[in-house]
Amino acid sequence: MGTTFFGFALADSMFNDACTIERRPLSVDAAKTLVKQGVESCLNPSHQATIDAMRTRFGIDVPIPVSPPRVAVGVGDAIVVMGVRGLPRLTDRHEYSVEEIAQATFLFTEYRVVPLR
Q: Tell me the mean pLDDT per 10 residues along the chain, length 117.
A: 92 88 96 96 87 90 88 94 83 76 90 91
pLDDT of residue 93: 63
What Rg value do the Cα atoms of the chain yield, rounded? Answer: 15
**Alpha-carbon torsion (15, 35, 90, 86), positive or negative:** positive
CA distance 84 to 100: 12
pLDDT of residue 101: 80
pLDDT of residue 116: 87
CA distance 36 to 60: 9
The CATH fold assigned to 4-114 is Rossmann fold (3.40.50)
111 in Cβ contact with 66 (< 8 Å): no
How distant, in Å, are the alpha carbons of 21, 41, 47, 93 from that of 35? 20, 10, 18, 29
**pTM to 2 decimals?**
0.87
